[in-house]
Amino acid sequence: MKSLKVIFFGTPEFAKTSLEAIHQSSHEVVGVVTVADKASGRGQKIHQSAVKEFAVENNLPVFQPEKLRDPEFLETIKKLNADVFVVVAFRMMPKILFEMPEMGTFNLHASLLPDYRGAAPINYAVINGEKKTGATTFFINEKIDEGNILLQQEIEISPEENAGELHDRLMEMGAELVVKTLDGLSENSIQEKPQPIVEHPKNAFKIFKEDTRIQWNQNAETVHNFIRGMSPYPASFTTIKIGEDEKFLKIFKGKFKMTEHDKIPGTLEINKHQFEIFTKDGFYFPQEVQLEGKKRMSVKDFLNGFQNFDHISMA
């Protein structure tokens, strides 16, 4: 098997795991492209991406262009003479860049394409109550997540698993799939295939703050799936009133029960022993929450913070 020269494009922890797997394989990472360092937090401390941190620790050449079409950057990348580019959790790439290597540029996507094209495939798989998902490597073209498939691997989603837990499992499985893809390209043993045409594909659009509000007028299981699909990030929320003050309440974990009732969905019943919110066809018991301005905590600790529950209601 020929050792391929690889340039890796990625940013977060999900991508770092794939970079690490390639670095430990028989293939050679000749360059790493990631985002520019950013100032964040109260002290505006400069933070590096997880991918850059790994690259620096392992003496891999790092490039952080502001623009991917920059002529100087393109010339530098071209001189590295890579066989293939690997992309994991990175931004859109221009054609002049992804067509540069002889073997092409492939991407790792955390779904079984063509389902869940877009920015948040893991979240939406859980939100929609899927029983399985997976990872796909595919050649990049000018359309988002629509290139020819190289390899796919399936994984089951457990009924109580949240998006963060699934993310971590897919991160490890995806890294293995990236190396298998490189091995297959090296041996010329992979037959790329067009993605199936689906009349109504399941999408995974970018999630914004307004998308994370819990809709209590839905079925209890739908609410449960939504909350675990948003957990731990970006986290779903509702609003409650404590006296005259409205507060955001993030909910990370809980259980649901389906039962007939005559309550208005969104009605809150709370005392020192229990905390339940009624849905369309049952109710939901939060187990881990975070009140605006407070730390994440168990519902037991949340309830212990109040002496009187008469002044608490849904906003």
Residue 61 preceded by cis peptide, ω within 30? no
Q: Is the Cβ–Cβ distance between 150 and 191 less than 8 Å?
A: no
Q: Which helix (H) or strand (E) holds 75?
A: helix 71-79
Q: If DSSP codes are grouped into helix, strand and coil, which group holds residue 144?
A: coil
- Amino acid residing at 141: N
Instruction: Check the annotation: does 112 bind a ligand.
Output: yes
Residue 113, annotated as binding a ligand: yes
Q: Which amino acid does the sequence have at 231?
A: S
The total of other beta-carbon atoms located within 10 Å of residue 305's CB is 9
Contacts of 145 (CB under 8 A, 6+ apart): 107, 109, 113, 114, 117, 118, 138
SS3 205: coil
Check the annotation: does 4 bind a ligand: no
CB 280 within 8 A of CB 258: no
Phi and psi at residue 237, to the nearest 5°? -145, 160
Cβ-contact 202, 158 below 8 angstroms: no
289 Cβ neighbours under 8 A, 6+ residues apart: 249, 250, 251, 252, 296, 297, 299, 302
The dihedrals phi and psi of 171, each to the nearest 5 degrees, come to -60, -45
Q: What does the alpha-carbon distance between residue 163 and residue 265 come to, in Å, rounded to a whole number?
A: 25
158 is in an annotated binding site: no
Positions at the binding site for (6S)-5,6,7,8-tetrahydrofolate:
111-114
Positions at the binding site:
111-114
